[in-house]
Amino acid sequence: SVGKKAADMAAVLLGSVALHCRLLQVSGERSFSVDYKNDCFLKDGKPFQYISGSIHYSRIPRYYWKDRLLKMYMTGLNAIQVYVPWNFHEAVQGIYNFTGDRDLEHFLDLANQTGLLVILRPGPYICAEWEMGGLPAWLLQKPNIRLRSADTDYVQAVSNWLAVLLPKLKPWLYSNGGNIITVQVENEYGSYYACDYNYMRHLRTLFRFFLGEDTVLFTTDGNTDREMMCGTLEGLYATIDFGTDTNITDAFNRQRRFEPRGPLVNSEFYTGWLDHWGDQHAVVDAQKVSRVLGEMLTMGANVNMYMFEGGTNFGYWNGADHDSRFRSVVTSYDYDAPLSEAGDPTEKLLDIRDVIKQFRDVPSGPMPPATPKFAYGFVTLSKVNIKTGLLNILSPPGPVKSQYPLTFEEIKQYYGYMLYQTTLPWDLSEPTPLISPMNGVHDRLYSQSHGLLERDTVLVMNISGQKGDTVDILVENMGRVNFGSKINDYKGLVSNLILGKDVLTDWKIYPLDIDGAITRGWPQSNSRQSFPAFWTESTVGPAFYSGTLQPNGLAWDTFLKLNEWTKGQVWINGVNLGRYWPARGPQQTLYVPGPLLSSTQPNNITVLELEKAPAHLRILFMDRPQLSGNDVLFHIISVATQFLTTSDF
Phi-psi region of 638 (alpha: psi -120 to 50; beta: other; left: phi over 0): alpha
Domains of the chain: which residue ranges? Answer: 46-358, 377-384+517-526+536-641, 401-507
* DSSP collapsed to 3 states, 256-276: HHHCCCCCCEEEEEECCCCCE
The dihedrals phi and psi of 400, each to the nearest 5 degrees, come to -95, 130
Topology given in CATH for the domain delimited by 377-384+517-526+536-641: Jelly Rolls (2.60.120)
Residue 389's pLDDT band, with cuts at 50, 70 and 90, is confident
Task: Look up the pTM and report it.
Answer: 0.92
* CA distances, 572 to each of 172, 476, 525, 595, 639 (Å): 35, 20, 14, 11, 26
- Local confidence band at 631 (pLDDT 50, 70, 90 cut-offs): low
Confidence label for 5 from pLDDT (cuts 50, 70 and 90): very low
Neighbouring C-alpha atoms within 13 Å toward the C-beta of 357: 10
Of 578, 596, 599, 648, the C-alpha closest to 620 is: 648
CA distance 609 to 604: 16
The bridge status of strand 507-512 relative to strand 417-423 is antiparallel
Options 188, 227, 409, 609, the catalytic residue:
188
Residue 3, pLDDT > 50, answer: no
410 a catalytic residue:
no
- 374: pLDDT strictly greater than 90: yes
pLDDT of residue 629: 83
pLDDT 10s digits, 323-351: 999 999 999 999 999 999 999 999 999 99
Nearest-angstrom CA–CA distance, 599 and 552: 6
Q: Quick check: 636 pLDDT over 60?
A: no
Q: Does residue 11 have a pLDDT over 50?
A: no
pLDDT given at position 254 = 98
Instruction: Give yes or no for a contact between 66 and 110, defined as CB atoms under 8 angstroms apart.
Output: yes
Q: Which CATH number fits domain 46-358: 3.40.30.160, 3.20.20.80, 3.40.50.80, 2.40.30.30?
A: 3.20.20.80
Please give the share of the chain, as a percent, with pLDDT higher than 70. Answer: 90
Report d(CA 277, CA 340) in Å as an integer. Answer: 19
* pLDDT for 17 beyond 70: no
Angle formed at CA 647 by CA 642 and CA 649, multiple of 5 degrees: 70
Tens of pLDDT along 197-237?
999 999 999 999 999 999 999 999 999 999 999 999 999 99
Which residues are registered as beta bridge partners of 560?
A: 590, 621
Q: Which of 268, 341, 409, 611 is catalytic?
A: 268
Confidence at residue 527, expressed as pLDDT on a 0 to 100 scale = 54
| Residues 6 or more apart in contact with residue 456 via CB below 8 angstroms | 325, 326, 439
CATH number for the domain formed by residue range(s) 401-507 = 2.60.120.260
In this prediction, residue 628 carries a pLDDT of: 94
pLDDT tens, residue by residue, 154-196: 999 999 999 999 999 999 999 999 999 999 999 999 999 999 9
pLDDT at residue 583, as a whole number: 96
Question: Taking the CA of residue 382 as centre, how many other CA atoms within 13 Å lie in the half-sphere pointing to its CB?
Answer: 15
- Same topology for domains 377-384+517-526+536-641 and 401-507, yes or no? yes
pLDDT in tens, 305-329: 999 999 999 999 999 999 999 999 9
561-604: per-residue pLDDT in tens?
999 999 999 999 999 999 999 999 999 999 999 999 999 999 99
Measured CA to CA, the distance from residue 238 to residue 205 in angstroms comes to 17
- Reading phi first (left if > 0) and then psi (alpha if -120 to 50, else beta), residue 45 is in left
As a whole number of angstroms, the distance between CA 478 and CA 492 comes to: 10
188 in catalytic set: yes
147-150: Cβ within 8 A, 24+ apart: 147/487, 147/488, 148/186, 148/189, 148/192, 148/194, 148/196, 148/199, 148/487, 149/194, 149/196, 149/199, 150/196, 150/198, 150/199, 150/202
The confidence band for 450, taking pLDDT boundaries of 50, 70 and 90, is: confident
Residue type, 28: G
